[in-house]
């Protein structure tokens, strides 16, 4: 079953949290010259038009990237935010006010940072999303297929280092266990791999089992970064965005704090709840 389409959610608060950590991780990894292979197991469309029917139906981007743009002046001093705003400017060159039409998905964020010797492979299983992805220039090498099986098949990479982003829709609850198994397989083939795993924070709390599985199965350090922007109430509805970083770059924890803390007060009037960033180590070495 593939009914999820990221166009309804592109540019929301969870995307901002996820993409900032993606950019910060890549910038830190690129402090060393050796080449990196970036894998993106669940690519989506690559670029989102926020004027289209999907984005307009939910309006989620207004409480994410649009909010960020309204606070641009106080954020833009940090190099990760600078990169974030520069990419938005490049994609939206004629917008003089603080509104944007185009928001990049993870393949485009990575393509905007990849260096000449780096490699970039992205997987997408939804036929329509895959077709849209192949029409954009900045996406890396596109594979039509299952990203969890696909990434494992391509390891070890030819480059000395690798970074994998795993960002499923979790439409089926079996995906949590499938993600944990895939990360275990990646780490068995490449002990030094860095892996970013996004998960939704939902009242059912299914992510907790995945976290326990990863904690017990891996030997590598794992940092957990969670943005809580809503009260966790009722049986449905996402109240936060979670990211795990396996083998995180040095000092990324403090950097995520610096990036996210100035933004947190902006969420409060929108969600009627004080937003919090909670970070902890699931494993140190
Ligand atoms: N990573 C994207 C970003 O940050 O812009 C968003 C990805 S979206 C949350 C998840 C995507 O994974 C959807 O486009 C969906 O069609 C795709 N998908 C679902 N199952 C998949 C699988 N097994 N392998 C590859 N892609 C899959």
Kindly state the average pLDDT of the residues 60-68. Answer: 95
Q: pLDDT by residue (tens digit) across 72-90?
A: 988 988 999 999 999 999 9
**Entry pTM:** 0.97
Q: pLDDT by residue (tens digit) across 180-228?
A: 999 999 999 999 999 999 999 999 999 999 999 999 999 999 999 999 9
Whole domain around residue 212: which residue ranges? 6-283
Q: Is residue 1 part of a domain?
A: no
Q: pLDDT by residue (tens digit) across 123-150?
A: 999 999 999 999 988 888 999 999 999 9
Q: How confident is the model at residue 234 (pLDDT cuts 50, 70, 90)?
A: confident
Distance (Å) from CA 168 to ligand 1 centroid: 5
Distance (Å) from CA 96 to ligand 1 centroid: 32
pLDDT at 67: 94
Q: Is the pLDDT of residue 266 over 80?
A: yes
Q: How confident is the model at residue 1 (pLDDT cuts 50, 70, 90)?
A: low
Q: Are strands 194-201 and 161-166 parallel, antiparallel or unpaired?
A: parallel
Whose alpha carbon is nearest atom 13 of ligand 1? 44
Say how many domains are in the chain: 1
pLDDT at 194: 98
Q: Is the pLDDT of residue 275 over 70?
A: yes
DSSP string across the chain: -----GGGTTTSHHHHHHHHHHHHHHHHHTTS-S-EEEEESS-TTSEEETTSHHHHHH-GGGGTHHHHHHTHHHHTTSHHHHHHHHHHHHHSTT--SS--SEEE-HHHHHHTT--TT-EEEEEE--HHHHHHHHT-SSS-EEEES-HHHHHHHTPSPSSSEEEEEE-----STHHHHHHHHHHHHHHHH-TT-EEEEEEEE-TT-THHHHHHHHHHH--S-EEEEEEE-S---SSSS--EEEEEEESPPTTHHHHHHHHHGGGHHHHHHHHTS--EEEEEEEE--
Q: How far is CA 161 from CA 38, 192, 194, 221, 274, in A?
A: 9, 7, 8, 17, 38
Kindly state the average pLDDT of the residues 138-165. Answer: 96
Whose alpha carbon is nearest atom 23 of ligand 1? 146
Tallying the residues shown for the chain, one arrives at 285
pLDDT at 138: 81
Distance (Å) from CA 42 to ligand 1 centroid: 3
Whose alpha carbon is nearest atom 16 of ligand 1? 126
Ligand 1 mutation target, pool 64, 122, 125, most atoms within 8 A of CB:
125
Asked if 217 and 178 touch (Cβ cutoff 8 Å), the reply is: no
* CATH assignment at residue 150: 3.40.50.150
Q: Is the pLDDT of residue 99 over 90?
A: no
Q: Is residue 219 part of a domain?
A: yes
User: Would you put residue 69 in left (φ > 0), alpha (ψ -120 to 50) or beta?
Assistant: alpha
Phi, psi (5° rounding) for residue 25? -65, -45
Q: Is residue 30 part of a domain?
A: yes
Q: Is residue 245 part of a domain?
A: yes
Q: How confident is the model at residue 95 (pLDDT cuts 50, 70, 90)?
A: low
pLDDT at 96: 64
Q: How confident is the model at residue 93 (pLDDT cuts 50, 70, 90)?
A: confident
- CA-based radius of gyration for the chain: 18
Which residues sit with their C-beta closer than 6 Å to ligand 1? 2, 4, 6, 18, 41-44, 105-106, 123-126, 129, 146-148, 167-169
Q: pLDDT by residue (tens digit) across 6-61?
A: 999 999 999 999 999 999 999 999 999 999 999 999 999 999 999 999 999 999 99
Distance (Å) from CA 263 to ligand 1 centroid: 27
Ligand 1 mutation target, pool 124, 131, 142, 199, most atoms within 8 A of CB:
124
Distance between CA atoms of 277 and 240, rounded to whole angstroms? Answer: 10
97 C-beta neighbours (distance < 10 Å), count: 6
Distance (Å) from CA 218 to ligand 1 centroid: 24
Asked if 13 and 64 touch (Cβ cutoff 8 Å), the reply is: yes
Distance (Å) from CA 255 to ligand 1 centroid: 27
Distance between CA atoms of 169 and 221, rounded to whole angstroms? Answer: 25
């Amino acid at each position: 079953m593939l009914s999820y389409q990221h166009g309804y959610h592109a540019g929301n608060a969870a995307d901002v949290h996820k993409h900032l950590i993606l950019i910060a991780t890549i910038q830190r990894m690129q402090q060393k010259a050796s080449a990196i292979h970036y894998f993106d197991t669940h690519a989506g469309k690559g670029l989102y038009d926020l004027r289209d029917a999907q984005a307009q139906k939910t309006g989620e981007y207004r409480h994410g990237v649009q909010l960020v743009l309204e606070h641009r002046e106080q954020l833009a001093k940090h190099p990760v935010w600078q990169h974030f705003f520069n990419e938005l400017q490049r994609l939206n060159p004629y917008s003089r006010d603080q509104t944007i039409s185009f928001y990049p998905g993870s393949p485009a964020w990575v393509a905007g940072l990849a260096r000449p010797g780096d490699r970039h492979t992205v997987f997408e299983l939804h036929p329509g999303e895959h077709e849209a992805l192949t029409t954009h220039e900045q996406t890396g090498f596109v594979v039509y297929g299952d990203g969890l099986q696909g990434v494992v098949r391509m390891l070890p990479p030819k480059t000395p280092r690798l970074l994998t982003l795993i960002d499923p829709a979790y439409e089926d609850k079996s995906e949590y266990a499938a993600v944990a198994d895939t990360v275990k397989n990646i780490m068995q083939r490449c002990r030094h791999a860095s892996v970013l795993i996004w998960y939704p924070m939902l009242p059912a709390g299914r992510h907790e089992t995945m976290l326990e599985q990863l904690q017990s199965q891996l030997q590598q350090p794992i940092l957990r970064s969670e943005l809580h922007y809503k009260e966790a109430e009722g049986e449905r509805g996402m109240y936060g965005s979670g990211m795990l970083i396996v083998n995180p770059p040095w000092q990324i924890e403090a950097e995520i704090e610096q990036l996210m803390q100035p933004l947190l007060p902006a969420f409060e009037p929108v969600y009627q709840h004080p937003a919090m960033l909670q970070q902890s180590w699931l494993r140190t070495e």
